[in-house]
A and B are shown apart, each in its own frame.
Chain A
Amino acid sequence: MRLARLALEQFRSYESAELHLDPGLTIVAGPNGAGKTNLLEAVFVGVTGRSPRTVADHELVRHGAPFGRVRLDLADPAGGEGARVETVVPGIEPPAGLRKRVSVNGLARRSGSLGETVRAVLFRPEEMLLLVGSPSERRRFLDAILAQRDRRTARDLVELARVLAQRNALLRAIRREEATADGLAFWDDQLAVIGARVTASRLALVRELGARIGPLHDAVAPPDELGDAVRLGYADSLKDAWPERDAGEDGSTLEPAFRRRLAAVRQKELWNGVSLVGPQRDDLVVELGGRDVAAHASRGQQRTIILALKLAETDLLGTDGPRPIVLLDDLFSELDPERSARALDLLAERGQVLVTMADPSAIPVARRARVPIWQVGDGRLSLTPRVA
């Protein structure tokens, strides 16, 4: 599916706005703070049902409005039937009974199943720090892909967060001697079962990304960065409780491993009052030429790898579902002109791309002439006439 039209009502800085997209590249230009990022966020909310910037949905609603609405009109390039995806988000004081609602062609849907209708890859400037930032950034990178590919994993991720919050609260209560340790059994069980499933999904994803990243890296890399191989790995928190780690694919050994590891760290968890085992402690490991990239790769090498990771994400999402819409937020402020031109070429080959930038002159003139450029200002959108 490709996105033909985005319509917003009472979303962030927009009272009402409409954006028509080309099947290829569409540019949104405007000064910083004008609301370009809000627009990409709106597409992402429409595609996934959640914001990449906040968990407090009411923040998405324009100040003072009872609710906000994002509508995506999708067209099937193959000539089949399109779809209308609508997300309604309650404001801070919504009308009685109004709850968050996601629908496709008017029929209510769980947001976790939207990935079967439409997908997106969002590339934010902060992600340029993906490799040097905290492990939580890299887990979020992996989980965002999983949540779009598989509704069961989408649900597991939500459930896992809830289990961990409850379990940590109980561990703290036990430490304060307000609860006894026998209440942990249920939450241990949930953590082992759901934790094993999420870990297995992440392992499979890292393997799939790892299988694709080599050629993509070489396609983005400038000549002086070629030669060293990129390797992806996954660091789990199971330590020696999972001796089958290197034995290959079979995830069925994970659940018993979780139980063994939980038993081993029980005392430490009670002292710390926090869960020490589980997907919330894991990390994506990236190596270049056999060395950890965070410590050893140059800034340029890291950027190349991050671009390759995002390309691999784009390709992977397209293999088992609708080809993703690529959303690039201010990418060109973070990359040198050569690397950004190569990245844009590679992404444009992969389908629909929506790009924000402060100054569209960063795009070569020949390309600009063929691309619709929307100007953002004062909460409004207007299409600038194409240059001849």
Chain B
Amino acid sequence: MAGLIAPVARLIEEFSKLPGVGTKTAQRLTYHMLRAPADEARGLAAALIAVKEQVAYCSVCSNITETGVDPCAICADDRRDAARICVVEEPLDVLAIERTGEFRGRYHVLHGAISPIDGIGPDQIRARELIGRVTGGAIDEVILATNPNLEGEATAMYLADLLAPHVASVTRIARGLPVGGDLEYADDVTLIRSLQGRRQVER
């Protein structure tokens, strides 16, 4: 970038590597940092380094954990049901399910979904680690909670085949109508899937 002094140009360049940040936004962020007190810049730099140095992957479930805390807090919690594993694509999905308080088993984080366009096949998601966990024999159920899109379904199908010989029960999360929604306004695919996934009324 002509006319810019080197440190400014460098920060703009670094910011524009971030997802969803274009040149204009990178410039805005850079000038914000220029005007901000030195402490704010130090705080941001320290947080950026800490996220790389103090975060590791759990050797059991592959979720992110603090460096030195392995297995992670969930895997180490023996009040949780060790015979049930919920498989998700990303660490954020663990947070979402934890927020519900509905699942008391453990997790397995794939860090992705099968997507040939992006060069992600079975070897690029942490499937082998999952098989390693279930071949021990003590797992009753694996819940496949990958996203309900093409790539998530491809991943779930692949894992279901792989897991079948080792686990008594492999389940897929149901796809249904959003709570508070009107049948009338639901799109057809959602309606069709919730009809296909219907179940006996409990009484």
Contact = CB atoms under 8 A, between A and B. Distances in A.
A165 interface: yes
Nearest to B150: A162
Nearest to A163: B150
Contacts of B23: 93
A169 B117 contact: yes
A178 B121 contact: yes
Interface string A158-175: 010011011101100100
B5 to A, nearest CB: 23
A155 interface: yes
Contacts of B117: 165-166, 169
B187 A113 contact: yes
Contacts of B25: 93, 96
Interface string B111-145: 00011110101100000000000000000000000
Contact of A173 (B119, B150, B189): B119
The interface centre, meaning the residue of A152, A155, A166, A178 with most chain B CB atoms within 10 A of its CB, is A166
A271 interface: no
Given A93-B24, A151-B187, A155-B189, A186 B157 contact: yes
Contacts, number: 50
B69 interface: no
Contacts of B122: 183
Interface in A269-321: none
B17 to A, nearest CB: 15
A183 B115 CA distance: 11
Nearest to A93: B22
B103 interface: no
6 contacts: A96-B25, A113-B187, A166-B117, A166-B151, A173-B121, A186-B154
B31 interface: no
A186 B161 CA distance: 11
A173 B114 CA distance: 13
Contact of B116 (A93, A151, A166): A166
Given A169-B116, A170-B116, A183-B114, A152 B121 contact: no
A179 interface: yes
A166 B189 contact: no
Interface in B20-42: 22-25
Contacts of A113: 187
A187 B150 CA distance: 9
A110 B116 CA distance: 27
Given A155-B188, A173-B121, A166 B115 contact: yes
B121 A179 contact: yes
A151 B188 CA distance: 8
A190 interface: yes
B189 A186 contact: no
Given A170-B116, A179-B121, A186-B154, 17 more contacts: A92-B22, A93-B24, A110-B187, A152-B189, A165-B117, A166-B115, A166-B117, A166-B151, A167-B116, A169-B116, A173-B116, A173-B119, A183-B114, A183-B116, A185-B157, A186-B153, A190-B150
A211 to B, nearest CB: 27
A152 B188 contact: yes
Interface in A99-133: 110, 113
Instruction: Give the secondary structure class of A's interface.
Output: helix
Interface of A: 92-93, 96, 110, 113, 151-152, 155, 159, 162-163, 165-167, 169-170, 173, 178-179, 183, 185-187, 190
A355 B192 CA distance: 41
A179 B114 CA distance: 12
Contacts of A183: 114, 116, 121-122, 158
A173 B187 CA distance: 35
Contacts of A152: 188-189
Interface in B139-181: 150-151, 153-154, 157-158
Contacts of A162: 150
A179 B150 contact: no
**Among all A-B residue pairs, the 7 with the closest Cβ atoms:** A169-B116, A170-B116, A93-B22, A169-B117, A186-B154, A93-B24, A186-B157
A152 B182 CA distance: 18
A388 B22 CA distance: 54
A155 B150 CA distance: 13
Nearest to B155: A186
Contacts of B119: 169, 173, 178
A193 B71 CA distance: 43
A162 B154 CA distance: 13
A166 B24 CA distance: 33
A29 B22 CA distance: 38
Contacts of A151: 187-188
A159 B24 contact: no
Contacts of B114: 183
A166 B158 CA distance: 15
A152 B23 CA distance: 39
Nearest to A174: B116
B116 A179 contact: yes
Contacts of B154: 166, 186-187
Contacts of B22: 92-93
A159 B116 contact: no
A287 to B, nearest CB: 35
Contacts of A163: 150
Contacts of A93: 22-25
B48 to A, nearest CB: 20
B154 to A, nearest CB: 5
